[in-house]
């Protein structure tokens, strides 16, 4: 445990972290990759270039400093990051590397303001925080490996089927190469795919939500092809999966992880709201609900640019036709002429609160949403404006965690 003097020093740095946090974490990653380039095999290079990883880490460091005297308050964040670390293969031996370079970055960015006393306090605090992560992640590693069909690190899977779902999304059905049992998972969880792409110096690891219900002899991921847009480069892994990974090929997967999961003990209505490829965890939740909770009303709302990029529409409409508990609605930002002729959507433009209120009879429900960050900010703002309690609002970022406020 930290003594009161150390706690007071850490607390005194909170305003500084609020201002300089991202500069510190940006310098941290520069230092760490220069000193340990092998870690470039683990971290998402695109998130580094876009600054998302630096911002996420800055937010985590800020929260740790703010709650240094009550670290149990950030346990949900620790668990969320722990799931990601376990899926990537982060191990206890990585934490001293992080600590050394984080302290070095604090000293570099803050200069003389980072006194020896402050650096020493942060060294002590980092030790406590690192121990919390290591403890949580050790339990996760044990659970992932010890469960029926579980495994440690990465396991070979074969692409059994490759199915194009829309102009931008393709599904991959993956079965274990060894023919043995696979671990179950909670609806909403993801797996990591580890790839060595020809011509690339480093290994790439990406997380993809599982887009089918648990209980099948396969895992299904549904991958959006990320092409280059303006100054945003193309997604190396998604494009390679689309263009070069075919049925019969082998991929390396980590066991399912993630804390964005369907609460199956709650018997209230469920509202699933997605934008674009954010529908993947919602498909897992929807398919699970019709199997396991036939009396639980489900409202499935999806936003897409138009019908050409709307994946799995037929699958959802088939489920709605077979299961009266399911109601499905589509919002198209820019419908095509074919969409208009077929009356293929329920709203044009964007999801807003009045439309949500017209579809959902009672806000006493569990709300889950996922999609691009601007989309999620809109949904979050609408639900709060409606008065939906925070404990009934559940969401997940694709990539490093951010804020919707």
278 is in an annotated binding site: yes
368 is in an annotated binding site: no
189 is in an annotated binding site: no
Give, as one character, the DSSP assignment of residue 372: -
Output the six-digit token pair for 58.
């800055």
Contact (Cβ atoms closer than 8 angstroms) between residue 364 and residue 339: no
State the Cα torsion 274-279-282-284 to the nearest 10°.
180
- 56 alpha carbon, distance to own chain's centre: 12
87 is in an annotated binding site: no
- 112 alpha carbon, distance to own chain's centre: 38
Output the six-digit token pair for 85.
């670390």
Helices 52-66/116-146 angle, 10° precision: 110
398 is in an annotated binding site: yes
198 is in an annotated binding site: no
**Catalytic residue, candidates 29, 62, 137, 332:** 137
85 is in an annotated binding site: yes
CA distance 69 to 88: 29
Residue 174 parent element (H or E):
strand 169-176
209 is in an annotated binding site: yes
Is residue 185 annotated as part of the catalytic site, yes or no?
no
CA distance 376 to 331: 15
Output the six-digit token pair for 114.
């980072």
346 is in an annotated binding site: no
Q: Are strands 366-370 and 270-275 parallel, antiparallel or unpaired?
A: parallel
CA distances from 108 to 99, 102, 122 (A): 14, 10, 14
Is residue 226 annotated as part of the catalytic site, yes or no?
no
Give, as one character, the DSSP assignment of residue 232: B
**Catalytic residue, candidates 95, 126, 173, 332:** 95
Kindly report the number of other CB atoms within 10 A of residue 44's CB atom: 18
207 is in an annotated binding site: yes
CA distances from 146 to 13, 91, 140, 184, 207 (A): 41, 17, 10, 12, 22
Strand-by-strand arrangement of the 347-348 sheet: 347-348, 326-332, 298-304, 270-275, 366-370, 393-396
CA distance 397 to 383: 17
Helices 4-12/52-66 angle, 10° precision: 140
397 is in an annotated binding site: yes
Q: Which residues have a catalytic role annotated?
A: 95, 137
Binding residue ranges: 85, 190, 206-209, 276-281, 397-400
> Binding site for FAD: residue ranges?
190, 206-209, 397-400
Binding residues for heme b: 85
Q: Which residues are annotated as a binding site for NADP(+)?
A: 276-281
């Amino acid at each position: 445990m930290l003594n009161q003097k150390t706690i007071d020093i850490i607390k005194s740095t909170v305003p500084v972290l609020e201002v300089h946090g991202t500069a510190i974490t940006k310098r941290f990653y520069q230092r760490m990759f220069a000193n340990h380039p092998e870690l470039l095999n683990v971290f998402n290079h695109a998130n580094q270039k876009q600054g998302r990883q630096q911002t996420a880490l800055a937010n985590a460091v800020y929260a740790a400093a703010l709650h240094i005297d009550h670290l149990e308050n950030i346990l949900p964040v620790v668990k969320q990051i722990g799931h990601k670390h376990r899926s990537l293969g982060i191990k206890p031996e990585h934490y001293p590397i992080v600590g050394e370079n984080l302290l070095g970055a604090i000293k570099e960015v803050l200069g003389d303001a980072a006194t020896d006393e402050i650096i020493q306090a942060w060294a002590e605090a980092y030790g406590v925080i690192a121990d919390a992560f290591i403890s949580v992640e050790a339990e996760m590693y044990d659970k992932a490996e010890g469960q029926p069909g579980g495994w440690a690190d990465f396991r070979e899977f074969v692409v059994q089927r490759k199915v194009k779902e829309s102009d931008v999304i393709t599904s991959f059905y993956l079965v274990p190469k060894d023919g043995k049992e696979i671990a179950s998972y909670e609806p909403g969880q993801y797996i990591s795919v580890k790839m060595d792409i020809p011509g690339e110096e480093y290994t790439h690891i990406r997380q993809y939500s599982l887009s089918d219900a648990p209980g099948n002899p396969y895992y299904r991921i549904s991958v959006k092809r990320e092409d280059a847009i303006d100054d945003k480069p193309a997604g190396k892994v998604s494009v390679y999966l689309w263009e070069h990974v075919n049925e019969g090929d082998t991929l390396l997967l980590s066991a399912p992880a993630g804390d964005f999961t369907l609460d199956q003990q709650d018997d209230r209505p469920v509202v699933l709201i997605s934008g674009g490829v954010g529908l993947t965890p919602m498909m897992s939740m929807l398919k699970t609900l019709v199997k396991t909770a036939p009396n639980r009303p489900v409202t499935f709302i999806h936003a897409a640019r138009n019908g050409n990029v709307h994946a799995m529409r037929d699958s959802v409409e088939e489920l709605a036709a077979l299961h009266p508990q399911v109601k499905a609605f589509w919002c198209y930002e820019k419908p095509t002429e074919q969409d208009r002729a077929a009356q293929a959507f329920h709203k044009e433009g964007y999801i807003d609160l009045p439309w949500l209120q017209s579809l959902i009879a009672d806000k006493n429900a569990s709300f889950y949403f996922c999609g691009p960050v601007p989309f999620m900010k809109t949904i979050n703002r609408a639900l709060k404006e409606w008065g939906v309690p925070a404990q009934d609002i559940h969401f997940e970022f694709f990539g490093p965690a951010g804020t919707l406020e």
